[in-house]
Structure 1
Amino acid sequence: MRAVISAGAVFFAAVSLAQAGTMATGEQISAAISGNTVQGSMIASGAYTEFYGADGAIRGKGYSGKWRVNGDTMCFQYGQDPEACWQVRLDGDQVTWVKGGKDDGAGAIVKGNPNNF
């Protein structure tokens, strides 16, 4: 009986990890992000809080940009910088930005625009 429980626990853990590692589709990204704010941190640039308008506008404290879903990635463009895209992993209100197969940042999705950006 103990071997059966242990095997079941291992199987459940493996399934949970596989689901946690599943990348979001473009439709899932839009549904989770559009019209909401994400507060988090990127490895390269540090902390951020941004509102992602349904019109494709990004608004943060003292800056703005554009966002769009391209296939199953979310793309960002700020000022004259070139557009950059990330895969997205969603887990409830948590988002992880994935670039080149590695986690590049993470954040929490907050409903609406509570910072009035």
Structure 2
Amino acid sequence: MRYILPLLLLATPGFAADLATGDAIRAALVGNTVTGSMSASGGYAEFYAPDGSIRAADYTGAWAVKGNKMCFTYGQDPEVCWSVAINGSQVTWMSEAGEEGHGKIKPGNPGGW
């Protein structure tokens, strides 16, 4: 039994090593659209414009990269920031509790928003 704890620690995934830096977030997402789903709010499709605005089919918002997180503001709601794991065209939005959503990066603004 004394070896169980060290083995469990070795088997725990290390998400921190997979998280993107602020520069990597900017390079992958700015000027592109992400479509996906969030655990709390469901599906989304958003264009992250270089001017810091978010454009979507039926809403707008603002984005900012702060440190190594991407932060979002929609209407009067408080700002929410997520760590981001990027693997090719796949994005995973992470909080301290774990995965909160995912998406796929599409070049440019195919929705024309």
The TM-score with structure 1 as length reference comes to 0.82
In 2, the alpha carbon distance for the partners of 1:29 and 1:81 equals 23
The aligned counterpart of 1:10 is none
Counterpart secondary structure, 1:27 = helix
1:27 aligns with 2:23: yes
In 1, the alpha carbon distance for the partners of 2:57 and 2:34 equals 13
Of all paired residues, the percent bearing the same amino acid is 52
1:79 aligns with 2:67: no
Q: Which consecutive segments of 4 or more residues in structure 1 shift more than 2 A?
A: none
The aligned counterpart of 1:44 is 40
The aligned counterpart of 1:107 is 103
**Number of aligned residues:** 102
Structure with a larger share of its residues in helix: 1
1:53 aligns with 2:49: yes
User: Cα RMSD (Å) of the superposition?
Assistant: 1.8
Structure 1 residues 7-60: Cα deviation after superposition (integer angstroms, max 9, x where no partner): xxxxxxx9xx768x6100000000000000000000000000000001100001
In 2, the alpha carbon distance for the partners of 1:105 and 1:18 equals 18
The aligned counterpart of 2:91 is 95
The TM-score with structure 2 as length reference comes to 0.85
Counterpart secondary structure, 1:31 = helix
